[in-house]
Structure 1
Amino acid sequence: MNPMALMKIMNAKNKFNASHPKFGAFLNAAFAGGIQEGTIIEMKVTKPDGTEMTTNLKIKQSDLELLQELREAVK
């Protein structure tokens, strides 16, 4: 990965974490015990007008491999 692109991503990540500290803490707690194959992650979006959208995904082995690669890339 391009070092400049990686720096840009890391800066954006740090800015996001500063703006939304509870989200980072939530992710740390959720992933602390390790996410396993078969884990279901659900996301809900509520827009300012009250419109809601919800989805979920069941974690596969390939998802775990991608997450590991992403973790290693941002170290």
Structure 2
Amino acid sequence: MNFMELMQLKEEWAHFRSRHPKFPLFLKAVHREAIMEGTVIEIQVTAPDGKTMNSNLKVRKEDLELLKRLEKMF
């Protein structure tokens, strides 16, 4: 990713935060209080037609390292 793409991504993230102000706060609280090795993250997506999709993952040490790097970017 080049510098211009990174700057554009940061700008898009700022717009996302303004449209969905509670979601970044939720992510920050989860990161601060619950993300550790062994944590299970589950996500469910419901489409407008009612179809749902679910997935989960168990956080590994390597995942924590990636999350720390991403946190520094934003």
Using structure 1 for the length normalisation, give the TM-score: 0.87
1:13 and 2:13 are equivalent in the alignment: yes
Identical pairs, percent: 46
The aligned residue for residue 53 of structure 2 is: 53
By how many angstroms is 1:51 displaced?
0.4
Moved beyond 3 Å, runs of 4+: none
Listed as ranges, the matches of 1:1-75 within 5 Å are 2-33=2-33, 35-72=35-72, 74-75=73-74
> What are the ranges of 5 or more consecutive residues in structure 2 without an aligned counterpart?
none
**How many residues in Structure 1 have an aligned counterpart in Structure 2?**
74
RMSD, aligned α-carbons: 1.4
- Unpaired runs of 5+ residues, structure 1, are none
